[in-house]
Amino acid sequence: MTILLVRHGETVDNASRTFQTPASRLSDTGNAQASLLAKRLASANISDIVCSDYVRTKETAAYVAEKVAIEPEYTELLRERNFGDIRGRPYDELNFDPFSSNYQPVNGESWQAFDARVARAWEYIGLVATKARGDVLVITHGFVCRSVIANHVTLAEGLAVPERWGNTSLTEIEPVSPWLVGRLNCVQHLGPHLEGRTSQSAQV
């Protein structure tokens, strides 16, 4: 049994480099990526799907859920970091670094608050894994993936926490401490054309 950690497919806002809102939807490319992800996971032994309750993650999860005939569970704990009042604004409009460690978004989350929430999400995923009959699929967001990998798992020698997370990237984690990562940020299911898009899209 394995925890399968996945970022959602590309959205229209990813492609236009805009800070996303909860209602941001998959682009045509994102739908194609999600379909290919579902094909990759069709033969996995998935027994549980735990998903962020934002639209883009729900849309990504729907492709896999149809393949494996499992109803996803949605949780607020797996939401992307809340960037508050800059959500909906293009990156290029900002005259500051919104990803700096000391930036506190107005009406949003600090990095400290975000990481604390992801820690609660990871604790919950661990509980799901202890009861699961098969693999646990977690569909979430880029910064959530990064927080999990940076703070809660063990990377093999030579691996490092990625700066960018590919759309529909797959990370495989053993479901018991020390939470070893077997595959990290993998997008081989996309092929060269769609794989390239994941490095061009905005991360939030």
Question: Tens digit of pLDDT for each residue in 92-109?
Answer: 999 989 999 999 999 999
Q: What is the pLDDT of residues 104-129, one digit of tens each?
A: 999 999 999 999 999 999 999 999 99
Residue 201's pLDDT is 66
Residue 198's pLDDT is 61
98-137 residues labelled b (16+ CB within 10 A) or e (exposed): beeeeeebeebbebeebbebbeebbebbbebbeebeebbb
Q: Does position 196 have pLDDT exceeding 70, yes or no? A: no
173-186 residues labelled b (16+ CB within 10 A) or e (exposed): bbbeeebebeebbb
Q: Does position 18 have pLDDT exceeding 70, yes or no? A: yes
Q: Does position 183 have pLDDT exceeding 80, yes or no? A: yes
Domains in the chain, CATH or no CATH each: 3-198 (3.40.50.1240)
Q: What is the pLDDT of residues 142-173, one digit of tens each?
A: 999 999 999 999 998 889 999 999 999 999 99
For the full predicted model, state whether its pTM sits above 0.85. yes
